[in-house]
Amino acid sequence: MKVVAIDGSPRKRGTVSTLVETAAQAVEACGAQVSRVRLYDKKIDWCKGCMICRRTNECPLGDDLPALAKEICSADALIFGTPSYWGQPSAVTKALFDRLVGYFATYELIGRRFKISPHFKGLGKQAVVITACTAPSPWAEIFGHSTGPVRLIRRMLKGGGIKIVGSLACKDTWRRPHAKERLRDRASALGRRIAARPTL
């Protein structure tokens, strides 16, 4: 099994980065191969809206995204980690997903409607999502700071036929900046969950 662990946090020792690494180590302990990616170490430009990827299934921009997209598409499972900024993923995580559109699905214009064909539907590709926000409960839930990134990433992955099989939303990291043991235990459980699921 091949797993790609994607860290969308700018803080190398922050809550998200720590928990993504914890999940990755749990996957490795189960015998899977893990490739680690720090998005802030990559050059990923903003989507230009050229729509070329919808015809070719590849992005024409010459940065790190095309190679990363191929690695993501060839993986059996994915670990995504991102901090929550105003209930949204980090900017570089959003830029990644904006540019994965053509790699995740084929778009055909039939009459006045688009037919969307997810590339990974029925292939058993799965993902887990880890996110963190500074807002405490209940405000984190009420205003979507803890749940917003998970919902958005779930919709994005669903467009490619990838299923989220678990998530971890950490709250109140302003007062508790370091991942506590119980959060690391939950991240490890997420890693074991995707390692245990059969691939097709």
Indicate the pairing of strand 163-170 with strand 105-110: unpaired
Q: What is the distance between the alpha carbons of residues 44 and 194, in angstroms, rounded to a whole number? A: 27
Over the chain (200 residues), the average pLDDT of each successive run of 10 is 96 94 97 97 95 90 95 96 95 96 86 84 90 90 91 92 94 76 94 81
Domain boundaries, position 43? 2-196
In the chain, the amino acid numbered 114 is F
- Count up the domains in the chain and report the number: 1
* Token pair 């058993």: residue: 124
- Check which CATH number belongs to the domain holding 22 and give it: 3.40.50.360
- Look at the pTM and tell me if it is higher than 0.85: yes
15/53 Cα distance (integer angstroms): 34
Question: What residues contact 198, with CB distance under 8 A and at least 6 apart?
Answer: 124
Structure tokens at 118: 């997810």
